[in-house]
């Protein structure tokens, strides 16, 4: 299988990018370590670090390509994949409004159902 030359160039040009694979390796070590010690929360966070490191390593490596092809002329790049300027502006405006609406709704629902639940045995047919 051919190696993607863009990956080598990106890591050579920006050595700080090696932090991403290191994050993935440290996350995988953390998963094994914390699961052995029964620290589930830390194992979950280690798994999150592993996934983040793996995904960012790939994205960093193939940048500016989104989907590399065997022939670079057919690769999907950021410039060829993006929408037009007008569409991006309209999309951003709708996304901001949608996120505000979703956040407001989530806060409303959370506050509506906040607090402890009090069960009354008579309300659920368990009385008498």
pLDDT above 70: residue 16: yes
Can you say how many angstroms the Cα of residue 7 is from the centroid of all Cα atoms in its chain? 21
Q: What is the pLDDT of residue 1?
A: 45
76, two tokens: 């999907």
Global pTM reads 0.63
Summarised one tens digit per residue, pLDDT across range 93-117 is: 999 999 999 999 999 999 998 887 7
- What is the token pair recorded at 3? 């190696």
pLDDT, average across residues 87-93: 97
Q: Helix 5-13 vs helix 40-62: angle between axes, to the nearest 10 degrees? A: 100
How far is Cα 52 from Cα 41, in angstroms, rounded to an integer?
16
Q: Do 71 and 40 contact (CB within 8 A), yes or no?
A: no
Tokens of 50: 């592993």
Question: What integer pLDDT is reported at residue 115 of this predicted model?
Answer: 80
Three-state helix/strand/coil letters over 45-81: HHHHHHHHHHHHHHHHHHCCEEECCCCHHHCEEHHHH
What pLDDT sits at residue 26? 98
pLDDT tens figures, 35-78: 999 999 999 999 999 999 999 999 999 898 888 888 888 889 98
């Amino acid at each position: 299988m051919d190696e993607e030359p863009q990956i080598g160039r990106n890591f050579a040009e920006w050595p700080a990018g090696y932090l991403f694979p290191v994050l993935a390796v440290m996350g995988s070590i953390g998963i094994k370590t914390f699961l052995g010690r029964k620290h589930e929360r830390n194992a979950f966070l280690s798994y999150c670090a592993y996934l983040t490191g793996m995904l960012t390593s790939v994205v960093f490596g193939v940048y500016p390509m989104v989907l590399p092809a065997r022939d670079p002329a057919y690769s999907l790049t950021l410039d060829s994949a993006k929408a037009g300027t007008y569409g991006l502006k309209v999309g951003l405006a709708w996304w901001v409004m949608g996120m505000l609406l979703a956040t407001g709704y989530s806060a409303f629902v959370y506050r509506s159902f906040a607090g402890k639940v009090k069960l009354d045995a008579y309300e659920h047919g368990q009385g008498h």
